[in-house]
Structure 1
Amino acid sequence: MERWPTSRLLSTAARLVELAWNEKLRPLGLTYPAVLTLDAVATAGPIAPGKLAQNIRVQAQTIGPLLTRLELRGFVVREANRFDRRGQLVSITARGKELLEQSHGLENAVLANVNLDSESLRNELMAIVRDTEIS
């Protein structure tokens, strides 16, 4: 590990955090991508699926199956966009909000044994998320 480039360390750490998160979320019937999606929908309010995909940094074709699973479980609803009949808007349900709140309580437990309260680390990670473009 000492010889790994920073990008590999970051990627490996992210994958391990996601696996740990999924373990904590399993009893709620959620996954890490589902929580990211619910959080983004809750924050943005009714949102078009394409804009949602953009906000959580996934490809547009990835969001459809995830929204279908969340909708089938009653966590989100998709409704026709009254301003653009060709599109839909996604909203979080009361049940989705409740599970999202529960997931936030678990979030800190994922890395409880690691001190990650470094402001400089947070700033660097936010810069990576903000400035890394995907196509």
Structure 2
Amino acid sequence: MTTPDAMAQWPNGRLLSTAARLVEHAWVDALDSLGLTHAGLIVLHLLGDGARSQTELARQARVQTQTMSRTLDRLEREGLVARIRDERDARRHLVTRTDAGTAAWQQARTLEADVFPPLENADELRAALLQIITASSAERW
């Protein structure tokens, strides 16, 4: 195991990458206990503001439409989302959160406090992460 002293010499990118992997593993385990995936949690979050099309969800989640389709299929099988025909365009379907999906979302919202250690400078870390994400994704999306 690498000691904190040794990690102090790592470049920021390596620290960020390692932290991201560890956080992802913790999230996967915690979400799995609720029958959710990270992608499913993102969808349930996005649907909190109301129904969306699969294309809109994919764009907002920054994934391919096919990837979103697989996530929605799983959520629908679990009864967490429903696809309904768009009243304004019968060719299109909208995705909405079910009551079970809302309940799962509510449970998942408290996971962060349970899974991650409290940080002294959480607001500064959040601001730095948002800056990294914004700068890094500007060219991609």
Question: One fold, TM greater than 0.5?
Answer: yes
Pairs aligned (count) = 133
Q: Which residue of 2 aligns with 1:41?
A: 47
d(CA) in 2 for partners of 1:116 and 1:63? 36
Label 1:28 to 1:116 Cα distance change in 2 as closer, same or farther (>3 A): farther
- Name the TM-score, length of structure 2 as normaliser: 0.81
When Rg is computed on C-alpha atoms for both structures, the one with the higher figure is 2
Identity %: 38
* Structure 2: unaligned runs, 5 residues or longer: 1-6
* Structure 1: unaligned runs, 5 residues or longer: none
Q: 1:24-103, aligned counterparts within 5 Å? A: 24-42=30-48, 44-103=49-108
d(CA) in 1 for partners of 2:75 and 2:24? 19
d(CA) in 1 for partners of 2:123 and 2:23? 19
Q: After the TM superposition, which of the residue ranges 25-34 and 123-132 deviates more from structure 2?
A: 123-132
Pick the structure with more strand per residue: 1
d(CA) in 2 for partners of 1:8 and 1:61? 31
Q: Which residue of 1 aligns with 2:14?
A: 8
Report the aligned-residue RMSD. Answer: 2.0
Label 1:69 to 1:128 Cα distance change in 2 as closer, same or farther (>3 A): same
- Name the TM-score, length of structure 1 as normaliser: 0.84
CA offsets per residue over residues 76-134 of structure 1, 9 Å max, x none? 0111222233322111000011011111122211112x516422221121233334143
